[in-house]
Amino acid sequence: MTMPVVLPAERAVPAAPSVLSRVLAHRGLTLGLVMVGGVVLIALLAPLLAPYDPYDQDLTRRLIPPVWHDKGSWLNPLGTDNLGRDYLSRVLYGARISLLIGASVMVISGAIGATLGLVAGYFGGRVDMVASLIITTRLAMPVVLVALAVVATIGGSLTIVILTLGFLKWDRFAVVMRSATQQVRSLDYVTAAEAAGASRLRVLVGEILPNVVPHLIVVATVEAGSAILLEAALSFLGLGVQPPLPSWGLMIAEAKTFMFFSFWLIAIPGAALALLVLGINLVGDGLRDVFAPDGRS
Amino acid sequence: MKHVAMTLAAAAALAATPALADKKDGTVRFAYDQVLENIDPFFNNVRLGVMMTQHVWDTLIYRDPVTNEYKPYLATAWKWLDDRTLELELRQGIKFHNGEEFDADDVVYTLNYVSDPANKATAQQNISWIEKAEKVEKFKVRIRARRNFPAAIEYLASAIPIHPNEYYAKAGPKGMNEKPVGSGPFKVTEHVVGKIIRLERNADYWKGSPKSVPNVARVEIRMIPDRQTQVAEMLSGGLDLIMNVPVEQAQQLKAAPHLSVTSGGTMRIVFVLFNAGENAPNPALKDVRVRRAIAHAIDKETMAKQLVGEGVRVINSICFPAQFGCTDEGVPRYAYDPAKAKALLAEAGFANGIDLEFFGYRERQQTEAMVNYLRAVGVRANLKFMQYAAMRDQHRGNKVPASHQTWGSFNIMDTSASTSAYFKGIDDDMIKDPEIVALLQKGDTTVDPAVRKDAYKKALTLISERAYAVPLYALTTYYVLNKDLDFKAHADEMPRFWEMKWK
């Protein structure tokens, strides 16, 4: 993972118009934004787009193949699953769950990680020592294993998955924010603010935070993508989101039984998941190029 | 369909070599999806355990799977001395796998050990009727029942195998699990709990036994919880027999040139069980209207036809129709009627629906179909899917509000083995309705068949009236097998490896 942890001292945040033009000039970023934007639109408009209720089962119409198959029809463009639920509707609604998880985990872990990183980077000394200890402890724990253990003990549900991942995935935020803050805190404008008698909180929130936000955004996108994948993995193992919620990971898990004979059941949510995570990663990479091109390796 | 054909062709090519090698050494490789916690027949209540009982051990009496006639087995003759005392003459010259000789001491020790509640046998309903066993002579024993127990012969023929007393006294259920010793047609050569059981033909098995000396030299039983892995192994020739295959997969696997598919009805009844006891984990279920609403919400006819397959039998009471005392005559029925279900919920004060933890352990597709039916009427079911032993322990620990249960009655053809197992105030009965307990007690312990039938009928009617459970159907099981394997499906859901041979 190449993460920009060093903020070049001489570079301030670029002015707004040049950011927009740089975003548009960056093909990967534009493509990523289109992909993520598309999924966001699908999630928002799912009730309008979906031909059926994603939970409605019709046991007399099970395992109908998608429209391009000899036996498919436009009645169910992506076919039906093993309980006769419309697959297109489930995939569309599944976007909501993935995005909800991605966004919520990003916010929770971002809040924890960014606070810890800011405080450690700004105050240094003993505070930094304690914070670094916490970060190292967290880094020593394998996320998937701990998440599995927690979810297996408490039981899986959407809320528990979000909270578990949120409280586990803040490490990268903390590491990046800590080093970025360390760079910024010795800059002249921070010293000036301190000399002018600004409170510590004001310096942290008013002077330092705005200047490290670009890093935060880059980490946040990458973490959102990874949270979505983790949810899919947990659900696949039967420990994440519980049926009948249309989570893509869960759909892949349930389709596993039909892998040999109805491969589309596994391929369709798999492709949706891959597209969304690819889109998010393209956005993350692109934003890094735009905000901190010198940190590129 | 091209893809399927290609997959199958590839699989067939792979299969050719291993299948040939196996026929030579006579191993039948079988997989089962439920894990067996303890191979000792008294310390588990799962189907694989029932299979092991018949393969590794012998019972005192034998019931013919076709005619249902009782035949001499370890006991050569038996008679009731009075309503509660059964005297049995024992067969001479039988040896256990470890060389121990079979006699009255083995019967006495086994029955007295497992029927002592202090020893905590898992399937109490199979043995709690035994008060004690006494040796009369070296080859003659008497079994005394706690109360009249007319179904005793049926139990002795199905679920009560005999252990070698000297070995069992030393090893106990734990040692028996690690190194099982019986007198049956197969010896266990290896048992890794939760993984594999290897059986080897007992070449010294007595010739006149109603079970034959096995044709195949070895059987390998692997516990593979993942259905897809089983299917992949069948396609690639790594397994010779699997069972409980979902109907649509069985039909698709038929297309593979080296496989064949057969199906058979079973005694296994499927039902939703509620915990409506005093300390019910979900208090909403204490209201009979909520339970009735759930009964109205599930379309069992469609589930049976679409998810179970041919030969399925819809049931309307909590027992298998061919069991003695089982009836659905006059038992209230709940037709599929989502509107009525919603109305009942609203009447009970749950117009906005209820949240419900719903447990399941096999045929997940059926559990999920039920979850969706419940959701449609406003019961937000949260699925908890696990291994049977885990679910059973949580159920007995009063933590399961509602569950998708299946019960094979240990192949015992008597209602005391089905309805009573769940509603007689023992083990799995979390409701303990005194009226029903009394009726089942009467049914289980009265000698007069007419009185028994009447008691069971009343109990079944009350269970249904109070909607303590929702009877669904008796399962059909689909077997997928190597087409060179000579295999006959019996109605009791038990593959008999001693009958099988390679064509």
Burial profile B83-107: b = 16 or more Cβ within 10 angstroms, e = fewer: ebebbbbbbeebebbeebebbbbbb
CB-CB neighbours of A197 under 10 Å: 7
- What radius of gyration do chain A's Cα atoms show? 22
pLDDT for B1 beyond 50: no
* Phi, psi (rounded to 5 degrees) for A172: -70, -35
Q: How far apart are CA A215 and CA A118, in angstroms?
A: 12
pLDDT at residue A17, as a whole number: 56
Q: Answer yes or no: do B248 and A62 touch at CB < 8 A.
A: yes
In a 3-state reduction of DSSP, which class is residue B311?
Answer: coil
Q: Which tokens hold the place of A31?
A: 């493509």
Helix ranges (DSSP H) in B160-313: 165-178, 227-236, 247-253, 288-297, 300-303
Q: How far apart are CA A170 and CA A93, in angstroms?
A: 28
- CB of A61 within 8 Å of a chain B CB? The answer is no
Contact A287, A29 (CB under 8 A): yes
Whether B350 and B442 map to the same domain: the answer is yes
pLDDT at residue B9, as a whole number: 47
Whether B177 and B286 map to the same domain: the answer is no
pLDDT at residue B14, as a whole number: 47
pLDDT at residue B176, as a whole number: 94
Q: Answer yes or no: do A83 and B373 touch at CB < 8 A.
A: no
Q: Using 50, 70 and 90 to split pLDDT, how confident is the model at B25?
A: low
- Distance linking the first and last C-alpha atoms of chain A: 10
Q: Using 50, 70 and 90 to split pLDDT, how confident is the model at B20?
A: very low
Contact B328, B315 (CB under 8 A): yes
pLDDT at residue A241, as a whole number: 82
Between residues 83 and 142 of chain A, which touch chain B (CB distance below 8 Å)? 83-85
Chain A residues close to B384, C-beta within 8 Å:
155
B163 belongs to a structural domain: yes
CATH of the domain at B67: 3.90.76.10
Whether B160 and B270 map to the same domain: the answer is no
The number of angstroms, rounded, from the C-alpha of B500 to the middle of its chain's C-alpha atoms is 21
Q: Answer yes or no: do B302 and A261 touch at CB < 8 A.
A: no
Give B304's DSSP letter.
Answer: I
Contact B122, B43 (CB under 8 A): yes
Q: Which residue has the tokens 């992949």?
A: B232
Question: Which one of B228, B235, B369 has the shortest CB-CB distance to A59?
Answer: B369
Q: How far apart are CA B477 and CA A231, in angstroms?
A: 35
Complex ipTM over 0.85: no
Contact B413, B390 (CB under 8 A): no
- Domain stop point among B184, B214, B236: B184
B398 belongs to a structural domain: yes
Among A231-245, B248-262, B349-363, the range scoring the smallest mean pLDDT is: A231-245
Q: How far apart are CA B421 and CA B443, in angstroms?
A: 13
* Residue B413 identity (one-letter amino acid): M
Q: Answer yes or no: do B302 and A242 touch at CB < 8 A.
A: no
Q: Answer yes or no: do B385 and A260 touch at CB < 8 A.
A: no
Whether B274 and B170 map to the same domain: the answer is no
- Adjacent-strand bridge partners of B29: B220
Whether B277 and B135 map to the same domain: the answer is no
Chain B residues close to A70, C-beta within 8 Å:
1
What is the CB-side half-sphere exposure of residue A182 using CA atoms within 13 A? 16
Whether B436 and B289 map to the same domain: the answer is yes
The number of angstroms, rounded, from the C-alpha of B227 to the middle of its chain's C-alpha atoms is 19
Q: Which tokens hold the place of B376?
A: 């449609």
Contact B477, B236 (CB under 8 A): no
Question: Which one of A84, A238, A257 has the shortest CB-CB distance to B228?
Answer: A257
Question: Which one of B1, B365, B382 has the shortest CB-CB distance to A83?
Answer: B365
pLDDT for A154 beyond 90: no
Quote the minimal CA–CA distance from B395 to chain A in Å: 16
Q: How far apart are CA B233 and CA B227, in angstroms?
A: 10
B470 belongs to a structural domain: yes
pLDDT at residue B18, as a whole number: 47
Domains and CATH numbers, chain A: 27-46+83-291 (1.10.3720.10)
pLDDT in tens, B288-341: 999 999 999 999 999 999 999 877 889 999 999 989 999 999 999 999 999 999
Q: What are the distances in angstroms from CA A257 to CA A266, B304, B406, B432? A: 9, 20, 21, 39
Chain A residues close to B399, C-beta within 8 Å:
none
Q: What are the distances in angstroms from CA A285 to CA A4, A34, A292, B347, B432? A: 11, 14, 10, 57, 63
Whether B311 and B416 map to the same domain: the answer is yes
Q: How far apart are CA B463 and CA B269, in angstroms?
A: 16
Whether B464 and B340 map to the same domain: the answer is yes
Which of B8, B371, B385 would best serve as a mutation to test chain A binding (most A beta carbons within 10 A)? B371
Whether B297 and B422 map to the same domain: the answer is yes
Q: Answer yes or no: do B372 and A242 touch at CB < 8 A.
A: no
Crossing angle of helices B338-347/B288-297, nearest 10°? 160
Q: How far apart are CA B57 and CA B186, in angstroms?
A: 8
B180 belongs to a structural domain: yes
B485 belongs to a structural domain: no
- Kindly state the greatest CA–CA separation across chain A: 76
B318 belongs to a structural domain: yes
Q: Answer yes or no: do A82 and B1 touch at CB < 8 A.
A: no
Tell me the average pLDDT across A22-45: 90
Q: Answer yes or no: do A263 and B231 touch at CB < 8 A.
A: no
Which residues, in sequence order, are CB contacts of B444 under 8 Å at separation 6+?
B129, B147, B149, B151, B416, B420, B424, B452
Whether B304 and B179 map to the same domain: the answer is no
Question: How are beta strands B85-90 and B75-82 bridged, if at all?
Answer: antiparallel
Q: Which domain holds residue B444?
A: 266-476
Tell me the average pLDDT across A148-164: 85
Whether B419 and B311 map to the same domain: the answer is yes
pLDDT in tens, B129-154: 999 999 999 999 999 999 899 889 99
pLDDT in tens, A82-130: 899 999 999 999 999 989 999 999 999 999 999 999 999 888 889 999 9
- Adjacent-strand bridge partners of B471: B271
Instruction: Tell me, letter by letter, the H, E, C secondary structure of chain A.
Output: CCCCCCCCCCCCCCCHHHHHHHHHHCHHHHHHHHHHHHHHHHHHHHHHHCCCCCCCCCCCCCCCCCCCCCCCCCCCCCCECCCCCEHHHHHHHHHHHHHHHHHHHHHHHHHHHHHHHHHHHHHCHHHHHHHHHHHHHHHCCCHHHHHHHHHHHHCCCHHHHHHHHHHHCCHHHHHHHHHHHHHHHCCHHHHHHHHCCCCHHHHHHHHHHHHHHHHHHHHHHHHHHHHHHHHHHHHHCCCCCCCCCCCHHHHHHHHHHHCCCCCHHHHHHHHHHHHHHHHHHHHHHHHHHHHCHHHCC
Q: Which tokens hold the place of A42?
A: 């699908």
> pLDDT over 90 for what percent of chain A?
34
B242 belongs to a structural domain: no
Closest-CA residue to B360 (of B331, B390, B338, B380):
B390
Chain A residue closest to B307 (CA)? A59
Which residues, in sequence order, are CB contacts of B346 under 8 Å at separation 6+?
none
Q: Which tokens hold the place of B183?
A: 């007198």
Tell me the average pLDDT across B18-44: 80
B417 belongs to a structural domain: yes
Q: Answer yes or no: do B368 and A244 touch at CB < 8 A.
A: yes
Helix (H) or strand (E) holding B453: helix B449-465
Helix (H) or strand (E) holding B157: helix B152-158
Which residues, in sequence order, are CB contacts of B349 under 8 Å at separation 6+?
none
Whether B152 and B287 map to the same domain: the answer is no
Total structural domains in chain B?
2
pLDDT in tens, B364-419: 889 999 999 999 999 999 888 888 888 999 999 999 999 999 998 988 889 999 99
Closest-CA residue to A232 (of A129, A122, A121, A105):
A105
- Domain stop point among B184, B210, B242: B184
Q: How far apart are CA B50 and CA B39, in angstroms?
A: 9
Q: Which residue has the tokens 């249960």?
A: B405
pLDDT in tens, B66-120: 888 999 999 999 999 998 999 999 999 999 999 999 999 999 999 999 999 999 9
CATH of the domain at B405: 3.10.105.10
Chain A residues close to B303, C-beta within 8 Å:
59
Which of B227, B228, B386 would best serve as a mutation to test chain A binding (most A beta carbons within 10 A)? B228
Q: Using 50, 70 and 90 to split pLDDT, how confident is the model at A297?
A: very low
Q: Answer yes or no: do A55 and B299 touch at CB < 8 A.
A: no
Q: Answer yes or no: do A70 and B382 touch at CB < 8 A.
A: no
The number of angstroms, rounded, from the C-alpha of A288 to the middle of its chain's C-alpha atoms is 16
- Domain stop point among B184, B206, B231: B184
In a 3-state reduction of DSSP, which class is residue B457?
Answer: helix
Contact A116, A170 (CB under 8 A): yes
